[in-house]
Amino acid sequence: MLRSGGDVWAALIELNEHRFRRHARPLLNYQELCREVAGVQVGELSVPALRSVVRRYADAAMETAKRKRRGERARYPRRRKALVPLRYYAGTFCLEGRRVRLSVVRGGPELWLRLSRPVPYAPDQVRSVTLLVEAGRLVLDVTAEVPVETDEGHRQAVAGVDLGIIHPFAVASGSDALLVSGRAVRAEERLHLADTKARSKKMAKKTPRRGQRGSRRWRKLRAAQRKAESRHLRRVRQMHHEAAKETVAWAKRHGVGTLVVGDPKGIARGGAGRHHNRRVANTWRRGHLLGALTDKAQLAGIDVVRVDERGTHDQAQRTPLCLQQLRLSRAPRPGRCPQHRRSWRRNHDDRGRRLAPPSRLGAGPT
């Protein structure tokens, strides 16, 4: 069925390619594409599953059109996929314990899937399920509607949250603070890096040239690498969710109603070089951290406010202490001591960082 979804995706790409060659207007709207595929039967796909592929293609095409209107460089979907996820909305599937039945084409045999563990939501809360393949494993993604806690006015405190590279979250509210340790995530990153280097060294001699199909052994190594990458990402994401859960639980215990989070948006688009920007993107998954914290805070009835972190580093370096006794570093940064009204230069060693006060978000460097 997933391969049939890939056939639908390829057919939509070929349809617009044919219209582009004829200088005709491409079909990008979801309603237009649904009229185009009406009455078409592809394998054992039901109508909701087929339309889910159409919806996925239409969303990607409309996003490309928006970027083109803004003057950005973008291309319409043109890469074919062997396996395309299928989404089933409420009423097209049946959930019974650790089994789920998906709708198929009329007259086809029933399709029952057995899950490895029960769904952690009540059947009436599940709104949709998505069938997909991740690193060679068949996965069922569940979307459910869960009740949101109502704030009765008891939570009026405000807490500042700082997203760290080593430690996921640093929270401060008044005289109370919380630092969620990220040593386990760091260890997982280091172990995965060593494993990736060893596997890449073994695969280097068997890597096929451009345009050449790889051998069976190379394809097995590549599949093992994708499986290891997927397992690593699942572990890291699970740790991020646990850290966000601990942060929200601490905020509820201390009566926090608003979390002010420093949004490091655009930090990887600086002029530090593509290698350093790539390291930051791989090591610091700030988008997933912020998303996990936002989702869990909303379920707990806590508001999340994002603020720009631009300039907070320079403000944190302004200290009322006199730093004349500190030795100058190789790359000193000028500043001014408000007590002695004279210029001073601070170094970047550990002593200088200890003297810097916390940032305006209420949490120091992590």
DSSP 165-179: SSSSEEEEETTEEEE
Q: How many CA atoms, within 13 angstroms, populate the side-chain half-sphere of residue 309?
A: 21
Token pair for 180: 């969620």
CA 44-86-289 angle, 5° bins: 165
Quick one: angle between helices 183-203 and 216-253, nearest 10?
A: 170
Among 89-93, 118-122, 124-128, 213-217, the minimum mean pLDDT is found in 213-217
Name the burial class of residue 51, with classes exposed (0-12), middle (13-18) and buried (19+) by CB atoms within 10 angstroms of its CB: buried
Token pair for 92: 């097209």
Does 366 reside within a domain?
Answer: no
d(C-alpha 84, C-alpha 47), whole Å: 15
CATH of the domain at 213: 3.30.420
Say whether both 175 and 269 belong to one domain: yes
Sign of CA dihedral 183, 187, 189, 193: positive
Say whether both 67 and 103 belong to one domain: no
Sign of CA dihedral 284, 288, 294, 300: negative
- Which of 246, 325, 250, 260 is closest to 292 using CA atoms? 246
Does 361 reside within a domain?
Answer: no
Judged against a pLDDT cut of 50, whether residue 352 lies above it is answered with: no
Say whether both 249 and 181 belong to one domain: yes
What is the pLDDT, as a whole number, of residue 151? 62
pLDDT (average), residues 156-184: 88
Q: How many CA atoms, within 13 angstroms, populate the side-chain half-sphere of residue 325?
A: 4
Judged against a pLDDT cut of 50, whether residue 94 lies above it is answered with: yes
Say whether both 137 and 210 belong to one domain: no
Host domain of residue 320: 312-355
Say whether both 181 and 276 belong to one domain: yes
Say whether both 298 and 265 belong to one domain: yes
Quick one: angle between helices 216-253 and 286-299, nearest 10?
A: 40
- Which of 48, 51, 46 is closest to 110 using CA atoms? 46
User: What's the pLDDT band for 349 if we cut at 50, 70, 90?
Assistant: very low
Strand-pair category, 157-163 with 256-263: parallel
If one compares 222 and 312, the residue with the highest pLDDT of the two is 222
d(C-alpha 135, C-alpha 145), whole Å: 28
Say whether both 302 and 323 belong to one domain: no
Say whether both 41 and 76 belong to one domain: yes
The DSSP 8-state label assigned to residue 101 in this structure reads: E
What are the tens digits of pLDDT across the range 205-260?
777 777 677 777 778 877 888 888 888 888 888 999 999 999 999 998 888 888 99
d(C-alpha 303, C-alpha 322), whole Å: 39
Length of the chain: 366
Say whether both 286 and 322 belong to one domain: no
Say whether both 206 and 132 belong to one domain: no
Query: For the chain, how many structural domains are there in total?
Result: 4
The DSSP 8-state label assigned to residue 204 in this structure reads: G
Say whether both 295 and 273 belong to one domain: yes
